[in-house]
Amino acid sequence: MVRFGIGFDCHRLVPGRKLVLGGVEVPYHEGLLGHSDGDCLCHAISDALLGAASLPDIGHQFPDTDARYKDAFSLELLAKVREMIEGVGYVPEFIDSVIIAQEPKLGPHYARMREAISGALGVASSCVSIKASTTERLGFLGAKEGIAALAVATVAQLAR
C-alpha cells in the first residue's frame, strides 16, 4: 500500500540566527525564528510523512513547550519522524518539496539539502526533490519577512 501526505510550514526571518534549510546552513544575514532551528523545509517534510502515516503533526510530537526541543536541529527531528512512521509500519519512498523565499538564492544548496534529507530518511538522494520559488515580491514572503515550505511525501507499507 502506498500513501501520501502533505506538509506546510513557515517561519519569520530575524537577525541573530543562522539560516538552516533542509538541514544545511545557508549563508544569509538573517535566520528563521523558531523553538527549534526553524528549518521550515524539514518541518514541512516531517508533517507530510506524519500525515501519510496518520500520526499527529510535529507540533504534537515535538511541542514548543518542551525544553528538549529548544534550538533542536530539525534534521535530527526528521530522522525521529522516520522512526515514528516505521513504528507504525511505513517507510519513506519519495519527497517532493518547494521552498518559498524571495531571498536568498537556494539553487546552489539543493544538492547538499538533498543529501542531508535523504540521509535522515534512509532513501536515495534521487528520491528527494527540492525546488524554490518566489512570490514575485507579494505578501510577507515577498517582502523578505519569512520563508515557507510545502512538501508531499510518499510512504509505503512495510512487508508483514
Domain boundaries, the chain: 2-157
| Gyration radius (Cα) of the chain, Å | 15
Asked if the bond preceding 108 is cis, omega within 30° of 0, the reply is: no
Please report, in angstroms and rounded to a whole number, the separation of the first and last CA atoms in the chain. 12
Distance (Å, whole) CA 130 – CA 114: 7
Could you report the per-residue pLDDT of 7-28, keeping only the tens digit for each? 999 999 999 999 999 999 999 9
Q: Are 56 and 50 in contact (CB under 8 A)?
A: yes
Collect all residues with Cβ–Cβ distance below 8 Å to 37 and sequence separation of at least 6: 18, 20, 71, 72, 73, 74
Distance (Å, whole) CA 110 – CA 12: 21
> For the chain, what is the mean pLDDT?
97
pTM to 2 decimal places: 0.96
3-class DSSP state of 153 = strand
Could you report the per-residue pLDDT of 99-120, keeping only the tens digit for each? 999 999 999 999 999 999 999 9
* CATH class held by domain 2-157: alpha beta
Distance (Å, whole) CA 107 – CA 111: 8
Distance (Å, whole) CA 60 – CA 97: 22
146-157/31-32 β-pairing: unpaired
So what's the pLDDT on residue 1? 85
pLDDT for 84 beyond 90: yes
So what's the pLDDT on residue 145? 97
